[in-house]
Amino acid sequence: MADTLLDDVGDLLLEAADQVVLPLFRKLDDADVSEKAPGEVVTVADRRAEELISAGLRRLRPGSLVVGEEGVADDPTLLTHLRDGGDVWLVDPVDGTANFAAGRRPFALMVALLTDERPTAGWILDPLAGTLAAGRAGEGALLNGQPVGTADVVASLGDIRGVAMTRFLPPPARDRVRAGGRRLGELLPGQHCAGREYLDILTGEQQFALFWRTLPWDHAPGALLVRAAGGVARRFDGVDYHPADEGAGLLVAANEQIWAEVHEALLGT
């Protein structure tokens, strides 16, 4: 029997977008938005989408565990399951919630699967753009059902463009990144939606993305997809990213050559 997991989870995200997320876009009232942490909002769409997606994932893999962003907000101990054996799902029901709550784009729905602690599959859906990425570790990535690769992307330092999320960087690192950005073709300010940044690496809109905060639901799906397409996702110190590892700083790039050049330009001493 053919393994239909990539399609099944993709269909689940499309269902959540169509039934929960998009009907509420630009239709939220004050009661539908709350602050779960200083400067961090959550909407009724986040909670309802996480419930729908989580239930669907458990049906696809009976006995699996779900670690969702909103679930962790209520019970932080759920994060310990990322080191469990078996199947563990990471879910970001609405990535870019601040955009969504303000009636802006982009926002995305994201899922990653860890099996015996190892990231094995990932999905990102930008429902307004109609873009769905899916892939398995070591088996390649698909963009709207078509294979996508970044390993062969060639760009000179002066042509490389990408995003550097500098808001949370320590001041010395922020200054270094901003100064180093002048060596690149373009240093973008970011779209406040990690899922869209990863999709833009896959589509070739940009060649890298630099982050300081690395919450697992924000980065596990995209890091897996970029790697599956031939790219690189490593901490600033060069250690491969794993969603269960604590740490700050993540540089994701289309391939090894671009990662090394951007790392030297933005983070080199």
State whether residue 137 is helix, strand or coil: coil
| Residues near 64 by beta carbon (within 8 Å), at least 6 away in sequence | 57, 58, 86, 87, 88, 89
Could you tell me the pLDDT band of residue 195, with boundaries at 50, 70 and 90? very high
- Between CA 207 and CA 202 the distance in angstroms is 8
Please report the pLDDT score of residue 39 as a whole number. 80
In whole angstroms, how far apart are CA 120 and each of 8, 19, 86, 113, 205?
A: 15, 27, 12, 6, 25
User: The dihedral of CA 29, 33, 38, 39: what is its sign?
Assistant: negative
Please report the pLDDT score of residue 36 as a whole number. 84
Q: What is the mean pLDDT of the segment spanning 193-214? A: 97
Could you report the per-residue pLDDT of 143-187, keeping only the tens digit for each? 999 999 999 998 889 999 999 998 889 999 999 999 999 999 999
pLDDT at 97 over 60: yes
Token readout for 191 is: 């779209």
Side-chain half-sphere CA neighbours of 131 within 13 A: 17
| Of 15, 27, 66, 71, the residue nearest 46 (C-alpha) | 71
| Of 144, 115, 119, 153, the residue nearest 222 (C-alpha) | 119
Please report the pLDDT score of residue 269 as a whole number. 59
Please report the pLDDT score of residue 2 as a whole number. 65
Could you report the per-residue pLDDT of 111-144, keeping only the tens digit for each? 999 999 999 999 999 999 999 999 999 999 999 9
* Least-confidence region, from 37-41, 60-64, 162-166, 247-251: 37-41
pLDDT at 99 over 70: yes
Please report the pLDDT score of residue 16 as a whole number. 98
Please report the pLDDT score of residue 206 as a whole number. 97
Please report the pLDDT score of residue 30 as a whole number. 87
State whether residue 103 is helix, strand or coil: coil
Could you tell me the pLDDT band of residue 268, with boundaries at 50, 70 and 90? confident
Name the DSSP class of 251: E
Could you tell me the pLDDT band of residue 20, with boundaries at 50, 70 and 90? very high
Could you report the per-residue pLDDT of 206-254, keeping only the tens digit for each? 999 999 999 999 999 999 999 999 999 999 999 999 999 988 899 999 9
The structure's pTM equals 0.96
- Residue 22 belongs to what H/E stretch? helix 22-24
